[in-house]
Amino acid sequence: MDKLIDDLIKLAFAEDIGDGDHTTLCCIPADEMGKSKLLIKEAGVLAGVDMARRIFSAFDPELKMTVYIEDGAEVKPGDIAFVVEGKVQSLLQTERLMLNVMQRMSGIATVTRKYVKQLEGLHTRVLDTRKTTPGLRMLEKAAVKIGGGVNHRIGLFDMILLKDNHIDFAGGIENAITRAHEYLKEKGKNLKIEIEVRNMDELEEVMQVGGVDRIMLDNFTPELTRKAVERIGGKYETESSGGITFDTLREYAEYGVDFISVGALTHSVKGLDMSFKAC
């Protein structure tokens, strides 16, 4: 995972700087020193401080970062999260990448915290999904955790999730589950198996076949969710997904599901407003 992040930073700098930041190079002497502060301009949850450290260090190890507010803290307009000192050329060339990352991650953490607070007092946890920005998944999922949410699977490699298309192509629920177990045994892998069901009939078939760790109730109404949770009776973990909004989130949770997956945590989030200003 660290290598993916290192590669992302290298690619992002190559994309932004190309053969040189000619604006900075033309007007700022190479030996000029200065400092800049990260100024918060909107209330929310701060995320990406650790990534900022990595970005500054990757570009110029001599930059000195003094942190006043760490990841996960709730911030307000006027707060100063950190100050960075060093070569002015380095401050200017790292500014945009650092801001892009921190605004995106803080936006995700802020929305996640809102969903998490909506479920206070209940055992249900908020999950993210794979509906992430290509190349930024590790950062976006880290932001979900900072906001208090839980990561689902990271990608296609760390869990088996038998969704509707897998089941249909495999020829049914029993075939899909059986093949999953055969595959894991053949490959010597120990991965959890989750299966998606679209109605109570499919749920009943899964209950008869067994061999899974979690059942995803896809696009179930709140009332069907109640019935499904009662039928499962704690034998398997339960997850609600599809068609759930912030306003209906708690209703689903009150019927006892263990997890609710929310694509909106990552796929359509507004970045948190902040700026990097000379000081």
Residues classed as catalytic: 96, 131, 163, 196, 218
Terminus-to-terminus CA distance in the chain, angstroms? 35
**In angstroms, rounded to a whole number, what is the distance separating the alpha carbons of residues 162 and 46?**
35
Cα distances (Å, whole numbers) of residue 219 to 42, 199, 225: 34, 9, 9
The angle at the Cα of 85, spanning 82 to 91, to the nearest 5 degrees, equals 90
- Residue 22, class by beta-carbon neighbours within 10 Å (0-12 exposed, 13-18 middle, 19+ buried)? exposed
- 204 residue type, one letter: E
Residue 278's SS3 state is: strand
Q: Which residues of 143-179 are buried (b: 16+ CB within 10 A; e: fewer)?
A: bbbbbbbeebbeeeeeebbbeeebbeebeebeebbee
State how far the Cα of 242 lies from the Cα of 252, in Å rounded to an integer. 11
Using DSSP, state whether 57 is helix, strand or coil.
helix
The answer to whether the beta carbons of residues 238 and 258 sit under 8 Å apart is yes
Tokens of 264: 């909106």
The DSSP code for 131 is: -
